Every structure is written in C-alpha cells, then in structure tokens.
Amino acid sequence: MESTDVRAPAPVRPVSAADRAARAAANRGGPTLEFADQVPYDAYVRASTLHGLQHRITGEPGEMSFLMVSQIMELYFKLICFELREASRLIRADDPWGALAPLRRAALELAGLNGAWAALRWMTPADFNRFRDELGEASGFQSAMYRQLEFLLGLRNPALIRPFHRQTNVYDELVVTLAAPSIWDDVLELLHRRGFDVPAEVLRRDYSDEHEPAPAVEAAWIKIYADGGPDNHLRMLGEALAEVAEQFGDWRYQHVKAVQRSMGAKVGSGGSNGLAWLQRSMARVVFPELWSARTAM
C-alpha cells in the first residue's frame, strides 16, 4: 500500500526533438503562446492546484509565510520518502552502487528542506502570537508524512500513529511502513548477505521497535571502512547514508532553533511540552553504528 508514488496517465502530449525544432522554427525563436487546451506546464505541474491550497484563517500577513513554508516542507518530506524507498529497493536487490543515486538526491533534497527554515527566521514570539491561537491544536507533530520519513530512517515509535486512526488510509499506510524494515534494516541484511556477522536477533526482530545498536554491526562498519579502495561500494554506501543522517539531523536542530526563536519553552500546540520534547527527540540517532564505529576507525 503506497500513495506516495501514484503514476497517472500522461497529462501532456509527448513531443520529439524534431517536433521541438519544428515548433521553434515556426515561432521564429520565440515561445509558443497559444494552446488548444490547458497550458501544458499547468497540466503537468498542476501549479494552479498548488496555488489554490493556501487558505489563511487570520488576517495576519505572516501567517501566509508560516502556512506555505509548512506546505513546502510537506512536499519535501514526500520527495525524500520516495528517494529512501527507491534506495531500499536497490539495496534489497543487492545493488548498493545503484542505491547511491537516490541517497545522494535525498541528501540534496534534505538540504533544500533545511533551507526552508530561513523563510521563518523573521518570526519572533510576538509575530507568532498574532495568529498562533487560531491554529488551535494543529501542530507539526501531527504530520503523517514526517512520521513516514522517521519510520523509513529507522526511528520507530508505534504510539505516534495513534493520532491518525480516524484517517483510515493515512493510518493504514503508517502501519505498513512501521511493520516493514527501515532502510537501515535493509542495509544490515545486505551486510549479512555480504558475509558480515550481523546477529540473527538484529535481523529477525519486530521492525515496529526501534533498532538497538549492536557491537557486531559497529565492527562490520569498521571493517568496511578499513578498505579504502575505489571499488568498495559498501563504504560509499556508508558515506551516502551518513550524509542523509547528517542532513536530517540538521533539520531537527533547525526545528529546535525555530521553536526557541518563535515561542521559547512554551507548551506546544499539539499538547507536548514543546521545546523539551523536540530536544529529547534529537537524542535518537539515525544509523547509530555508522557513527559509533568512527571512534574506532
């Protein structure tokens, strides 16, 4: 079950290089200005639909920035989830070299996600308070796509899907992701297939529980990194994963700083203690043995 990669019929008519050359000649180098139906760009990107999704609930101009940055982040969450699923598919197919491309894209997309925080640096507590009460209990904590991202990275907490139990499709998709191996689990299976001593209790466990760091996994990464040869695809995979983890950590850190800037240590809108909750969540490490192994390298 997956709604994050829905393939639809082509919304535009395909054209060839010859078609483009003929059109450019007919236009004498200018752009095409007349179309029989919907403008092709809008048909493909659905820009008019995207631009119709911003519905402010107050008259505060700053709310528009808060709303749109939140929506931009949601789109990035979805894109990064797409890349991680593709990387996992290739890892399960014993193709760590092929998995490097989606992982590197994911790292770049995480950098773009991180850049979105800059658009909210203007927000002081006074600015946020002008529209915060009207948001009710709405909180980024309730982002289902962010939960998908955490689950794919291996950060697992079954309790966090409870808010969605009345949204059947969303809840069912989270249940499926929570019960399936994370990308880190897929990597550990790959190491096992390549002859590394990954314990059975690490490989055969309840995936809805968060992975506990294992000394044998750390030892495997130490051995992998000891081979500095140009054909060591597992070391390259480790570095690509480390970049993803680092960029994701930067996002979590910037989230904490944005909360500190806009509301300090006030109680969160979603019912948590806000800043303290976020700070505790940062202690959970993505791909833990990939980092702990570096001490012994």
Residue 59: inside a domain: no
User: Any residues with CB less than 8 A from the CB of 106 and at least 6 apart, and which?
Assistant: 80, 83, 84, 87, 244
The alpha carbon of 289 is separated from its chain's Cα centroid by a whole number of angstroms, namely 21
Q: What pLDDT is stored for residue 267 in this prediction?
A: 65
Confidence of residue 2 (pLDDT cuts 50, 70, 90): very low
pLDDT digits (tens, 9 = 90+) for 137-171: 887 778 999 999 999 999 999 998 999 999 999 99
The answer to whether 273 and 136 have CB atoms below 8 angstroms apart is no
Confidence of residue 235 (pLDDT cuts 50, 70, 90): very high
Q: Which residue has the tokens 């760091």?
A: 213
Residue 42: inside a domain: no
Taking CA atoms, 143 is separated from 176, 188, 189, 193, 252, in Å, by 17, 28, 30, 35, 14
Binding residues for heme: 255
Question: What are the backbone dihedrals phi and psi of residue 11, each rounded to the nearest 5 degrees, phi first?
Answer: -80, -10
Binding residues: 132, 255
The answer to whether 44 and 12 have CB atoms below 8 angstroms apart is yes
Binding residues for substrate: 132
Residue 214: inside a domain: yes
Residue 207: inside a domain: yes
Taking CA atoms, 11 is separated from 24, 49, 106, 267, in Å, by 22, 14, 26, 46
Q: What percent of the chain has pLDDT over 70?
A: 94
Tokens of 57: 């609930």
Closest CA to 43 of 3, 75, 76, 10: 10
pLDDT digits (tens, 9 = 90+) for 174-200: 999 999 999 999 999 999 999 999 999
Provide the CATH number for the domain around residue 100. Answer: 1.20.58.480
Q: What pLDDT is stored for residue 1 in this prediction?
A: 42
CA angle 98, 186, 101 (to 5 degrees): 20
Domain extent, residue 182, equals 64-296
Q: What is the pTM of this model?
A: 0.92
Give the span between the Cα atoms of 19 and 17, in whole angstroms.
5
Q: What pLDDT is stored for residue 101 in this prediction?
A: 98
CA angle 32, 38, 43 (to 5 degrees): 100
Q: What is the number of residues in the chain?
A: 297
Q: What pLDDT is stored for residue 153 in this prediction?
A: 98
- For the CA atoms of the chain, what is the radius of gyration? 23
The answer to whether 184 and 153 have CB atoms below 8 angstroms apart is yes
Q: Is the dihedral of CA 131, 133, 136, 141 positive or negative?
A: positive
Q: What percent of the chain has pLDDT over 90?
A: 75
Residue 126: inside a domain: yes
Residue 37: inside a domain: no
Residue 269: inside a domain: yes
Confidence of residue 6 (pLDDT cuts 50, 70, 90): low
Number of domains in the chain: 1
Lowest mean pLDDT among 73-82, 110-119, 134-143, 168-177: 134-143
94 pLDDT above the threshold of 50: yes
pLDDT digits (tens, 9 = 90+) for 238-279: 999 999 999 999 999 998 888 888 878 766 565 555 677 677
Q: Which residue has the higher pLDDT, 190 or 14?
A: 190
Residue 1: inside a domain: no
Q: What pLDDT is stored for residue 273 in this prediction?
A: 59
CA angle 274, 271, 170 (to 5 degrees): 105
